[in-house]
Amino acid sequence: MNNTYDVIVIGSGPGGKSVASSLASKNKKVAVIENDLWGGTCPNKGCDPKKMMVSAVEAQSMAHQMQEKGITATPSINWDDLMRFKKSYTDSVPEKSQQSLVSAGADTFYGTAEFTDEKTVKVNDDTLSAERFIIATGAHPNILDIDGKEHFLTSDDFLSLSDMPETITFIGGGYIAFEFAAIASATGAKVHVIQHDSAPLKQFDQEFVEVVMEQLKSNGVSFHLNTNITKIKKESDSYLLTDDGDFSLKTDLVFGTTGRAPSIDKLNLEKAGVDYDKKGIKVDDYLQTSNPSVYALGDVLSKEQPKLTPVSSLEAGYLTDQFLSGKLNKINYPSIPSIVFTSPKLAKVGVSVEEAESDKNNYKIRELDATDFFTYLRKNEPVSKVKVVIDDEKKQVVGATCINNEADELINYFSILINKKVKIEDLSDIVFAYPSTASDLSYFYR
């Protein structure tokens, strides 16, 4: 079978699915190739099922905070029920995702795409060619290359655990480890997080990271910093973790949470003339690779922007517009929020505190302990802190970091203020519902 298309999209995650559906609905001849679950990581085994599980932690945390404030018991988390709840959403995702592509008019192929030349790919027994390709294959869990690495489980495995063990360990102190640690500890598991240096969640303000760590410690999470695990040994029904010194730890399960790697190793990019590095596929300001017929988007890219689902969707919208309009405009990334769904949540957007401290002529930093703000006081939250970076000349917020249970909502408000360049006088003209997270916004300018 030999087919020629206007566009072939490799990968059916949120970005790939979006651009493919949009182009196909505009009468472009589109093919989509997928070698795993239709719909990609986010809805199947990433942000969506994770957030469903976080919902149970949020409910438990709220009940715990309100002890002796009207609530008399803290609920426990039933892992079986929680997994059934998660599966009630994820089980139907692949079929619905593929069907939505077909309904939009795209052809779908299941298998691994391999470039055979600059304008041709092979999928199983099918050879497909196109004028343009979009690579949207995303990323996969990175496995630390140590003795016993075959014993590592990944984030995919955590989100499919049939039972929560008594002891669980995460090697790597990034956002995945912190989020899963919060979930596991809320179920009653003894949790360990091991980080090779002294700076977990290094992309976030370390003062706030320490606050998150203290809250997680109070829930039974143990952190082992400056610990470089070099060996995992299976011992009966457990695993022994050791370093080159005297550190040792027994655990029921061990998860590798040392980041994610771009899913490019099976694409035969050399035959397509597509350049890449260890961070992913290289693209220009138009998301075009070294092969002018091939574009790329999402987590597979080698880029400075956060590798997040909303960023992939932004890039998909950009490519759709470029392909349909024939325009040649550079992609413009706004300030992008990042969130760690721990308990409490940690979030940031825009100019960091570190950047602001190195340029005090242009920025000033406001630090607020908002624990006594009514928004947080009424729910008896143990901690609520915010750092805001202000362009003093323009009187505009240009960056923010926050830690509280509403950080996911609050950081989105800050994103609007930053990207729309809202000044204090503009904000004062808006009446927000009170009491609410939004009604506090004006306080962060003062």
Annotated binding site for FAD: 51, 299
Is-cis flag, bond preceding 435, omega within 30? yes
Q: Give the 3-state secondary structure percentages of the chain, helix then strand then coil, rounded to 5.
A: 35, 25, 40
Radius of gyration over every alpha carbon of the chain, rounded to an integer in angstroms: 23
Is-cis flag, bond preceding 344, omega within 30? yes
Rounded Cα–Cα distance for residues 204 and 346 (Å): 8
Rounded Cα–Cα distance for residues 274 and 35 (Å): 20
Rounded Cα–Cα distance for residues 188 and 130 (Å): 53
Per-residue DSSP letters for 284-299? -TTSB-SSTTEEE-GG
CB 263 within 8 A of CB 12: no
Distances from the Cα of 371 to the Cαs of 212, 382, 384, 385, 405, in angstroms?
14, 7, 5, 7, 11
Rounded Cα–Cα distance for residues 382 and 365 (Å): 23
Residues annotated within a binding site: 51, 172-179, 259, 299
Residue 225 burial (CB count, 10 A) = 14
Q: Is 114 helix (H, G, I), strand (E, B) or coil?
A: strand
Distances from the Cα of 390 to the Cαs of 354, 357, 366, 438, in angstroms?
13, 11, 8, 18
Closest alpha carbon to 308 in 297, 296, 324, 319: 297
Query: Which DSSP letter does residue 64 get?
Result: H
Q: Where are the alpha helices (DSSP H) in 192-308?
A: 206-218, 269-272
Main-chain dihedrals φ then ψ at residue 386, nearest 5 degrees = -140, 135
Q: Is 415 helix (H, G, I), strand (E, B) or coil?
A: helix
The helix or strand, by DSSP H or E, that contains position 192, with its residue range, turns out to be: strand 190-194
Residue 361 burial (CB count, 10 A) = 7
Residues annotated within a binding site for NAD(+): 172-179, 259
Q: Which residues of 121-145 are buried (b: 16+ CB within 10 A; e: fewer)?
A: bebeebebbbebbbbbbbbbbbebe
